[in-house]
Amino acid sequence: MVNKNIFSLAHAAYIRERDTKGNIRMATVVIMPRQGQSVESCIITAFNKKVGDTVDVGEVLFSYETDKSSFDEPAPVAGKILAVWREEGDDVPCLENVLAIGEDGEDVSAFAPKGEEEAETATAPEATPEVKAEAAPAATAESTEAPAATVGVGSISPRARLLAEKTNADLLKAVPTGPNGRIIERDVQKLVDMGLTVSPAAKDAYTEAKAGSGINGRVTLSDLSAASAAAEESAAPAPVAEFEDVKLPNIRKVIAKSMHASLSNMAQLTLNTSFDATEIMELRASLKSGAEKLGLANITLNDMVLFAVSRVILNHKALNAHYLGDTMRYFNNVNLGIAVDTERGLMVPTVFAAEKLSLNDLSRAAKSVIKDAQSGTINPDLLKGASFTVTNLGSLGIESFTPVINPPQTGILGVTTITRRVKEEDGEDVTYPAMGLSLTFDHRALDGAPAAKFLKELCFALENFDLLLTK
């Protein structure tokens, strides 16, 4: 399941040539699309076509991935592959030319991308230190190719934005079909038709620049750059690749680096406990039978744990935080990371402002991001920004484990399988379903007792889930 962008003509540039009869012909240059505002370059994982091959509209030309997602690029036009300027494994700056499709005899050499040496000599005037290594090629591409720079701006039409605001359409799920990857009215209408909307609260968290400083609250460029600066600050520092000569999939590199950094740089320790899952299992059973009637989502035990975490953790702000060396950043919202096992490896999509969602809405939101992560269509912007993470190995029968923190978060909660345990009740031994919780926390950020207090309150909430719901 990859993102088939049938309208990716928007990614194509044109050149005009004349044949000997003077007729105008055109070759189509396919560029590396920009998948999300935060993506600066993508790695080509495979070419399905080579020079000389004939392609039809929609046939996959090549596959590529961002640091978290994979995509296929379909052919925007039919014709012959005249030139391929990249190799598998190349890290290609977004909007740079990849290959050209046209007719025999057309000269497309003018569209060959600039040599890497040349590209490297150019400076990226405003690249921030953290992203220096990866950002330089993209920034260079923009500064040396004026047209690419001009087409990169403006990803949603004012009309589409207005419609999204009115309908609460989830713009993060929009497939842009306008020119230059612009989201236009019909793309938002499609979201609405498919029911892909978000609660206004969640949307606020997505789009921090909602209230613009322009006339009539219009969001201006300055609002957007302010928002993106804020987003950058709150996000994890972008990891820098260290393994140049090993062609790992990009996503593996990221996981490896992230995990290694986590364990080597932090003072992690894990607390284990369990709680009586009787009440949430009963609720789960009754929901299962009644969900359809009430139009509710298929709410799982894990959703309930997420819900409880989202309510309890705000009382323990050191766990809903980022440890940034000399400062702590405490979040006012609970941006809940959910660890998801995918074909490509571990991914952690985020449900923003989870504390504002009802159980039902939280369940839907979690399912949506999990599904996107698994299908590889997740918007890369959704793969960062979490303030706390929940990981669940219960379905695999794990009874206890040591989750690894995703830095700079300060904690991660592992959820395990349910086992039956014995407890004394009115002098008699009775069994009850016990669900295990493993909380890893960063001792640099907080001490054992506060972490244990969080676990205790969380267990109480889960054992008295009806109270939590009525709260």
- Which positions are annotated as active-site residues? 443, 447
* Residue at token pair 């403006």: 154
Nearer to other proteins, 25 or 421 (CB): 25
Residue 47: CA count within 13 A, CB half-sphere: 17
**Distance of closest approach, residue 27 Cβ to other proteins, in angstroms:** 11
**Distance of closest approach, residue 150 Cβ to other proteins, in angstroms:** 6
For the chain, the residue count is: 471
Nearer to other proteins, 177 or 410 (CB): 177
Radius of gyration from C-alpha coordinates of the chain: 25
**Distance of closest approach, residue 152 Cβ to other proteins, in angstroms:** 10
Phi-psi region of 94 (alpha: psi -120 to 50; beta: other; left: phi over 0): beta
C-alpha closest to that of 445 among 316, 256, 335, 343:
316
C-alpha closest to that of 308 among 120, 118, 439, 440:
439
Nearer to other proteins, 186 or 421 (CB): 186
Nearer to other proteins, 161 or 344 (CB): 161
Q: Which residues bind other proteins (CB under 8 A)?
A: 6-7, 9-10, 13-14, 16, 24, 26, 77, 146-147, 150-151, 157-160, 162, 177-180, 182, 184-186, 216, 218
Report how far apart the first and last C-alpha atoms of the chain are (Å, whole number). Answer: 41
Nearer to other proteins, 158 or 448 (CB): 158
3-state secondary structure of 256: helix
3-state secondary structure of 411: strand
Tokens standing for residue 456: 């205790």
Facing residues of 13 across strands? 29
C-alpha closest to that of 55 among 15, 101, 14:
101
Nearer to other proteins, 185 or 276 (CB): 185
**Distance of closest approach, residue 78 Cβ to other proteins, in angstroms:** 9
Nearer to other proteins, 17 or 457 (CB): 17
Nearer to other proteins, 186 or 453 (CB): 186
User: Using CA atoms, how far apart are residues 69 and 288, in angstroms rounded to an integer?
Assistant: 33
**Distance of closest approach, residue 90 Cβ to other proteins, in angstroms:** 22
Element (H, E) at 388: strand 388-392
Give the largest Cα separation in the chain, rounded: 101
Nearer to other proteins, 103 or 447 (CB): 103
User: Using CA atoms, how far apart are residues 297 and 291, in angstroms rounded to an integer?
Assistant: 7
B/e letters for 360-374, b = 16+ CB within 10 Å, e = fewer, are bbbbbbbbbbbebbb
> Hey, which bits of 52-208 come out as E strands?
54-55, 60-65, 70-74, 79-84, 91-93, 97-102
CB 184 within 8 A of CB 190: no
**Distance of closest approach, residue 188 Cβ to other proteins, in angstroms:** 10
**Distance of closest approach, residue 184 Cβ to other proteins, in angstroms:** 5
**Distance of closest approach, residue 80 Cβ to other proteins, in angstroms:** 16
User: Using CA atoms, how far apart are residues 467 and 413, in angstroms rounded to an integer?
Assistant: 22
Tokens standing for residue 324: 């940034």
C-alpha closest to that of 101 among 76, 82, 84:
82
Contacts of 455 (CB under 8 A, 6+ apart): 271, 273, 437, 439
B/e letters for 386-404, b = 16+ CB within 10 Å, e = fewer, are bbbbbbbbbeeeeeebebb
3-state secondary structure of 99: strand
**Distance of closest approach, residue 111 Cβ to other proteins, in angstroms:** 10
